[in-house]
Structure 1
Amino acid sequence: MAVVVLLVTASTVTAGPAVRAKAVMDPAGAIQRQLVPGHGVKIVQRTRANWYGSWSAFKPVRGVVGFGKGKIVATDLTNFNLGRDGTRNVCIGKRGYQLYAKPDPDRPLPPGKSWVTYEWPCQLVLKSGHHVSLSDPATLRAVLATTARKRATGVYDGVRTTLYEGTITFAQLHKVNPGMRIGFRSKPTGKYASWKVSWRLWIGRDQLVRRAWSAWHDPNDSLDKSAGEKPYYAFEEDLRLSDWGMKAEIQPPPADETVASEELDD
């Protein structure tokens, strides 16, 4: 089976007015030039969440993001927050495949089957959090246009980087990506328009992003305000990227080892 394991974000400070990063660099273009068939990038994603006044850290998501003709076409991701040894999902186009490496008494599979395939809500993008998309040129350029500070910083993936950081509002993000949603499918308009995403990007001399960090609040419209609970959740996500341009031929698992979820539900 030719599936590559998916492994799914500083020292003189420049102060003053926002830095017009687009005029001196174009990471969006550098990333787009990487999006060619048969190649990809390794990622490690770490997330923290504040649900009700206390922070919780999650185990990393690791994997490989596979590229196509100017877009993300596949992922092979292991989420170590699910299952004893993590849960592996391969996503190709609109189809997903989940590996059951060990027998699951709650979901027994037919003999010889170890993969379940289904219509998977694939997130074929490369991003920090839900909002800072690295694979969408318009979004990345809009984010970089809000750069407030930059400074030389550390080495990531063997490359010395420059840290760019700033904040961008949901309204600004929604303008370049009208399909963007926050929280439970809320449009980032009205009272949410002025909410901000804090962001940091560590960019190498080749203009490729080696680390992306973002922090934001999501509205929680389901909360009972009379209970005195805060009407939002807080999140931070740290994405590390390495081996840009690596060979990544992410293929479906063998058909004779795969069963459709629809068959299990019958």
Structure 2
Amino acid sequence: MRRWTTAVTLSVTGLALYGAPASGAATDGDPVAAIQRQLVKGHGVRITEYSTFNSSPSSGWERFKPTKGVVGFGDGKVTATDLWDLQVGVAGVRDICIGKRIWEHDPKDKLPNGKKWVTFKYPCVLRLETGYLRLDKPDVLAAVLATTTTTKALDTYDGSPTTLREGSISFRQLWNVRPELRDGFLKDERADWTIDWRLWIGQDGLVRRAWSKWREPAGDKWKGVTNGRSWLGFVSDVRYSDWGMKLTIKSPPAAQTIAFNKLKY
């Protein structure tokens, strides 16, 4: 079975104001308002996320197999996810995440007869984002869009012509709308490190693709892995399709589920 700490650290897998309209007021056709209108019960979006990691000059950039699946909404937020992580094993691992519990199906797991899922408590990553840039939080998305440096018409995604907006936002700027990041790994001396970002926005204001690239301090944990370099590099590239699709993510049948602490290895 997969161990979640590593997978979540490298995920994204994978953006983006209630109450602060000064620099990013939500208007019709604006991504801030368009995405908020989607976050209703019984609906969701399909995603495919590609993650790339750079641990040292010698290893260079490594692109992982994608994570694919659906994200469910309700009451103005993400409420559940149902995703296949194809990086794990030959066939990948499927995880259904609701609240603070995960149900995991690994085709290679040898479980007791009739059991297909293992469940355990875990703080699910219930959000739409690329890197640290959250799409589902109006404050964050507005702050990101306020750093736009380039806007141009570009490719068609999910059947909609898109406008590419791109720019760069510092971790210091993100702290203003995501103060919890200040208590994390990135201290004041690296607050001006930046996240380069690109958003492909459809004619309806919905994001069809979200890309970001950034670096993080390597820290003591990674000494020796980075060949003397002080940082690790990350790229998150997420594709969104079928916005507003009817979707209700439910936990697997209890008869097919076994608690992790009841497994014997």
- Counterpart of 1:156, as a letter, is Y
Aligned with residue 208 of structure 2, among 207, 210, 235: 210
Q: 1:85 and 1:67 mapped to 2: Cα distance?
A: 27
Contact kept? 1:171, 1:189, Cα under 8 Å: no
Match for residue 152 of structure 2? 151
Q: Is structure 2 residue 34 aligned with structure 1 residue 30?
A: yes
Q: 1:246 and 1:228 mapped to 2: Cα distance?
A: 46
Number of corresponding residues? 240
CA shift digits 1:178-198 (9 cap, x unpaired): 11269xx41x33111100000
Describe the shift of the 1:228–1:247 C-alpha distance in structure 2 as closer, same or farther (beyond 3 A): closer
Match for residue 125 of structure 2? 123
Contact kept? 1:36, 1:68, Cα under 8 Å: yes
Runs (4+) of structure 1 exceeding 4 A deviation are 20-25
SS at match of 2:180: coil
Describe the shift of the 1:101–1:181 C-alpha distance in structure 2 as closer, same or farther (beyond 3 A): farther
Percent of aligned pairs with the same residue?
47
Match for residue 81 of structure 1? 87
- Which of the pair has more CA radius of gyration? 1
- Counterpart of 1:219, as a letter, is P
SS at match of 2:237: strand
- Counterpart of 1:31, as a letter, is I
Q: 1:199 and 1:65 mapped to 2: Cα distance?
A: 22
Match for residue 18 of structure 2? none
CA shift digits 1:139-176 (9 cap, x unpaired): 00000000111001110000001000000000110110
SS at match of 2:38: coil
Contact kept? 1:22, 1:145, Cα under 8 Å: no
SS at match of 1:230: coil
Describe the shift of the 1:92–1:50 C-alpha distance in structure 2 as closer, same or farther (beyond 3 A): same
TM-score by length of 2: 0.85
Match for residue 248 of structure 1? 247
Deviation at 1:120, TM superposition (A): 2.1
Q: How does 1:95-134 map to 2 (within 5 A)?
A: 95-102=101-108, 104=109, 108-129=110-131, 131-134=132-135
Gap runs ≥5 in structure 2: 1-12, 15-22
CA shift digits 1:47-101 (9 cap, x unpaired): 1111111111111110000001100000001000001100000001111000133
- Counterpart of 2:247, as a letter, is A
